[in-house]
Amino acid sequence: MVKMLRRGNSHMPDMEEYGASSSPGARPGLDARFFARSVHRVAPELIGAVLMIDGVGGVIVEVEAYDHEDPACHGFGGRTERNAAMFGPPGRAYVYRSYGIHWCLNVVCEPEGIASAVLIRAIEPTLGLEAMQARRGLSDPRLLCAGPGRLCQALGITRAHDHARLDTSPFALLPRAAEVPLAVGPRIGITKAADRPWRYGLARSRFLSKPFPR
């Protein structure tokens, strides 16, 4: 399923309202106000945004939404030491280890105390390509950040970044500049609520972790 998100559409807000400044000399970026909304509004709006850490990163091309009433959400069963960051404040990083191997980056959404977040599944690497290639030990740009574990390795994200603000160094999260064609489908690699269409991607991107169903 592919649809366009256009400015003026309810899915395409005025980004300056949410902390993204376009003033000369200002550092544009999305602040907590942008993320303190429904995870189901934030997730598709992150497609086309630029994610960086220490100047290394690229364009977000794939995400998944997880809300507090979702049995696949880490916060569904309540707060623990592992998932504490997911409960807020909004605009923070929630970093966890998947299967004891890979780090995964999530962006915390909704008001503090509500466990909702967007999993960043893939980016198109555009900044600091050599650094990402060195960390990943490969050269093909399409494989550097195609998957949540891969992108965390490429960007050097670890548990040390859990709770970090995404509008403050070393992170930067910049809004997309124009409309994007959006692909929508079921989430990947989960067994609970697997049929919910809460995976969003940049349609026809070559940098997705997995193609969307046609």
pLDDT digits (tens, 9 = 90+) for 179-213: 899 999 999 988 888 889 999 999 999 999 999 98
Q: Is residue 213 part of a domain?
A: no
Average pLDDT over residues 4-11: 40
Q: Which residue has the tokens 């079921």?
A: 186
Instruction: Give the count of beta carbons closer than 10 Å to the beta carbon of residue 21.
Output: 14
Residue ranges making up the domain that contains 101? 2-202
Instruction: With a cut of 60, say whether residue 8 has pLDDT above it.
Output: no
pLDDT for position 98: 87
Counting every residue, how long is the chain?
A: 214
Q: Is residue 212 part of a domain?
A: no
- pLDDT level of residue 15 (50, 70, 90 thresholds): very low
In contact, 181 and 36? CB cutoff 8 Å: no
In terms of pLDDT, which residue wins out, 51 or 76?
A: 51
Q: Is residue 207 part of a domain?
A: no
pLDDT for position 3: 54
- pTM assigned to the model: 0.87
pLDDT for position 70: 83
pLDDT for position 133: 98
pLDDT for position 99: 80
Q: Is residue 89 part of a domain?
A: yes
pLDDT for position 12: 41
Average pLDDT over residues 152-174: 97
Instruction: With a cut of 90, say whether residue 20 has pLDDT above it.
Output: no
Which CATH number do you get for residue 19?
3.10.300.10
- pLDDT level of residue 16 (50, 70, 90 thresholds): very low
Q: Is residue 208 part of a domain?
A: no
SS (H, E, C) the chain: CEEEECECECCCCCHHHHCCCCCCCCCCCCCHHHHCCCHHHHHHHCCCCEEEECCEEEEEEEEEEECCCCCCCCCCCCCCCCCHHHHCCCCEEEEEEECCCEEEEEEECCCCCCCCEEEEEEEEEEECHHHHHHHHCCCCHHHHCECHHHHHHHHCCCHHHCCCECCCCCEEEECCCCCEEEEEECCCCCCCCCCCCCEEEECCCCCCCCCCCC
78-113 burial string, b = 16+ CB within 10 Å, else e?
eeeeebebbbbebbbbbbbeeeeeebbbbbbbbeee
Q: Is residue 110 part of a domain?
A: yes
Q: What is the pLDDT of residues 125-153, one digit of tens each?
A: 999 999 999 999 999 999 999 999 999 99
Q: What is the pLDDT of residues 64-108, one digit of tens each?
A: 999 887 867 676 677 787 888 999 799 999 999 988 789 999 999
* Number of structural domains the chain divides into: 1
